[in-house]
Amino acid sequence: MLNVTNPSVQLTYDNIIGAIQHYLPHTLIHAFKYIDDEGDFITVRTDRETADMIKAYVTANFDRASNSFSHSLIIYPSNDSIQDGSSSLRNRPDLHVEVPVSPSISARHLQGIQQALSSGSLHSASPMNINLGSDTSHGTGSPDSLKLASIMNGPLSADANPLSLDQLTYDPSTDRLGAGNGGNVFRVVHNSTNTTLALKIIGLDATSPEEQRQIISELSILHSFSGAFFHDNEIYIATELMDGGSLDRYKPIPEPELGRIAVMVVHGLQYLWSIGIMHRDVKPSNMLINTTGIVKLCDFGVSRQLINSTALTYCGTHAYMSPERLNESKGYKIQSDLWSLGVSLYEMAIGEHPFPSECLLSPVPLFNSIVQGKVNSLPRAKFSVSMCMFVNQCLSREPEKRPHPRTLIEHPFIAAYNDGNTGVVAEYVKMRIQSGMG
Ligand SMILES: Nc1ncnc2c1ncn2[C@@H]1O[C@H](COP(=O)(O)OP(=O)(O)OP(=O)(O)O)[C@@H](O)[C@H]1O
């Protein structure tokens, strides 16, 4: 057993193997294991699996209150001779791998990100270089305000008083904005500030106080807000109200507006990836729009514990999932978000999902369609060549053939609409709302 102190997301597989070899020089180590938050031993053999381990550890163990990790990450060298040997060789609690704190996601940076997100500015956050594995690494650089604007901000600052139900006013019979798999979303008023917010209420399977604590902690890290609380085994999550609602209501959307929407979604995704978070649930109903023409992503990097505690329907959550993600034995990475973006853009452009509608009704046909069925292309007569190409590339079954995450913004389709013209989108949203279709 090795204790890794100061774990960094820049740790590579070789760093860890090297550290183990330092203490066990005469043993050939071919892998190592760690225990995930469900208590299972997970074997790590690659940089990508190392990055997944670090991310899972940071998510589950960063304690926002104390700004530190609740316990060390423990890894177990994997080697046949060790497995057969004495337990004193296998278990070495005295061994520590000293890893320098990197300028990426350390406790300090997580706090910086949280503060920056809640204040609406990222000036205080240093450039971050998150290494998600060889195929998934990104450029560095301070995310700019446009990127920031493309993901959902919490309405309350990190040091605000904890939110509770008695601070909010709403009428469940008239103020419902929409419903998802897990529950309902209401328009509410925050009494003391007279701010209108969106309040998502998710019914949970019975959760223990410990699980509730973990959900709140994961949401705090992932979403950088303090507007989440529990009441009667339901979780309440307050976010900024987007007065245009979600984009699933607008389909089909013409290319000039959809192109500019795609640019904002890409900015949001690139920002999330740059801080080491995969969205994991890209779909039109998780893209919210307002009448100033701004699009924001919500429900990103959903808390694992929250997923475990809610009953999500299969097709609702899986129709946008990439083949490699459905087939999890292969592992998946951020290119998986690009597949979901391709499905979403196709659907918003045409008004229909790229797979036959009958396949969406049950798990087996849906799985078969995504993994091996025919994928429809956008009609070239209705859309530009660059848009058809972008969507086709995103819908490639081989992740490496999708547009490269780092250069996404340079793709001819995204570049063509990256003119900051939110006015076009704003006019469109207002027009659709007035015509009763928004
Ligand atoms: N911040 C918000 N502002 C305005 N409307 C919102 C907001 N958040 C959610 N909604 C509306 O509520 C609906 C339900 O949202 P919710 O996130 O619960 O589910 P979903 O994304 O549609 O589905 P799923 O549960 O599968 O993720 C959305 O489709 C959207 O129309």
pLDDT value of residue 339: 96
Q: How confident is the model at residue 383 (pLDDT cuts 50, 70, 90)?
A: very high
Q: What is the pLDDT of residues 300-325, one digit of tens each?
A: 656 555 665 664 544 456 889 999 88
Q: Does residue 179's CB lie within 6 angstroms of at least one atom of ligand 1?
A: yes
pLDDT value of residue 117: 36
Does pLDDT of 173 surpass 60?
A: yes
ipTM score for this prediction: 0.96
Q: Which atom of ligand 1 is nearest to the CA of 200?
A: 18
Does pLDDT of 284 surpass 90?
A: yes
Based on the residue annotation, tell me whether 144 is a catalytic residue of this protein: no
200 annotated as ligand-binding:
yes
CA of 152 to the centre of ligand 1 (A): 12
Choice between 57 and 410, residue whose per-residue pLDDT is larger? 410
- Whole-prediction pTM value? 0.66
CA of 356 to the centre of ligand 1 (A): 24
The Cα 322–Cα 316 span in angstroms is 14
Compute CA 4 distance to the chain's CA centroid, rounded to the nearest angstrom: 26
Domain 13-119 part of CATH 2.40.50.140: no
Say which CATH architecture domain 166-240 belongs to: 2-Layer Sandwich (3.30)
Q: Is there a contact between 276 and 55 (Cβ–Cβ < 8 Å)?
A: yes
> Where do we find the tokens 């060790």?
82
| Tokens coding 334 | 């951020």
Q: Which atom of ligand 1 is nearest to the CA of 248?
A: 29
pLDDT value of residue 122: 23
Q: Does residue 182's CB lie within 6 angstroms of at least one atom of ligand 1?
A: yes
Segments of the chain assigned to CATH 1.10.510.10: 246-435
pLDDT value of residue 257: 98
pLDDT value of residue 217: 65
Segments of the chain assigned to CATH 3.30.200.20: 166-240
Does pLDDT of 36 surpass 60?
A: yes
Segments of the chain assigned to CATH 3.10.20.90: 13-119
Q: Across all residues in the chain, what is the average pLDDT?
A: 73
CATH class of 246-435: mainly alpha
Average pLDDT for 133-159: 36
Q: How confident is the model at residue 65 (pLDDT cuts 50, 70, 90)?
A: low
CB atoms within 10 A of CB 42: 14
